[in-house]
Amino acid sequence: MKSIVASILRAEESQSPEGYRWSLDPFLLVAFAGNTCKAPMMDLGCGRGIIQLLLAAGGAEQVDGIERQPLPVAAARKNLGRLPEPGRFRVVHGDLRLCRELFAAQSYRTVLANPPYRSPKSGRIAPDPERAGARHEMAGGLEDFIRAAAYLLKNNGHFCIVYLPERLAELLSLMQSCKIEPKRLRMVHSREGEGAKLVLVEGRRAARPGGLKVEAPLYVYDGDDYSAEVREIYAAFGLGQE
């Protein structure tokens, strides 16, 4: 399975310059989620299905995704259709803000999210709709993702998200207001001695308050090369240093 997923990922990376390409972020998210991922799972804003593919490489039994834009939906279905058991990986074409109309409440044990990080007022918006939607909150912001997760998760189910550290206070506050208690946090730095670039957070729905564990930081680079940990993450999905 890993070799199949790796070939799909390489094909995605060699696609046309237009549109969105996979980055390190979903790899870090799935590696962070690790053994907490229990089926059935949901990827909110699944794009081209990269997180579903990575979970498949790890042996996931059932992973659904929801995506608003038609082109990524078509790409995700094509990518996931190349897997040996594609029926285990469904992509729903829809708006996660309307998930109450599309899914039953408390129907997932794990929800993952790699949402767009920035508001439409922050930075330059890419002219390509797919790339713009991956980077900016063009149709739904952080609160919409967390509300969707809270609706979809079973009690004590796990929510894992990768986001910007400068919005960490907002993220944790929204999680708690939606009854998802933060339980684990890890900062991601480009290099040792530099400020954090990303934050990984895991929460559990309707869990007892408190008990947040802050893990050791993750460093992406060691000098000019990927760190040993990042190389191990790529290798776990059948990829070398990309």
Domain coverage including residue 134: 2-13+21-236
Asked if the structure places residue 42 within a domain, the reply is yes
- pLDDT tens, position by position, 134-185: 454 556 799 999 999 999 999 999 999 999 999 999 999 999 999 999 999 9
d(CA 233, CA 202): 18
Q: What is the pTM of this model?
A: 0.89
Number of independent structural domains in the chain: 1
Q: Is residue 163 part of a domain?
A: yes
- The CATH number of whichever domain residue 25 belongs to comes to 3.40.50.150
What percent of the chain has pLDDT above 90?
Answer: 76
Is residue 28 assigned to a domain? yes
Q: What is the pLDDT of residue 18?
A: 55
Q: Decide: 66 and 99 in contact? Cβ < 8 Å.
A: yes
Structure tokens at 21: 């390409």
Say if 150 falls within a structural domain. yes
Parallel, antiparallel or unpaired: strands 153-163 and 63-67: unpaired
Averaged pLDDT, 199-218: 98
**Average pLDDT rounded to a whole number, residues 43-67:** 95
CA distances to 16, 197, 220, 225 from 193, in Å: 36, 12, 12, 16
Domain-located, residue 242 = no
Tokens of 211: 């008990």
Write out pLDDT tens, residues 71-95.
999 999 999 999 998 889 999 999 9
Q: For all residues of the chain together, what is the average pLDDT?
A: 90
Question: Is there a domain that residue 241 lies in?
Answer: no
What is each CA distance from 159 to 25, 99, 154, 228, in whole angstroms? Answer: 16, 16, 10, 27
Question: Can you say whether residue 46 is alpha, beta or left, with left for phi > 0 and alpha for psi between -120 and 50 degrees?
Answer: alpha
Whether residue 53 lies inside any domain: the answer is yes
pLDDT of residue 133: 45
The yes-or-no verdict on residue 53 having pLDDT over 50 is yes
In a domain, 152, yes or no: yes
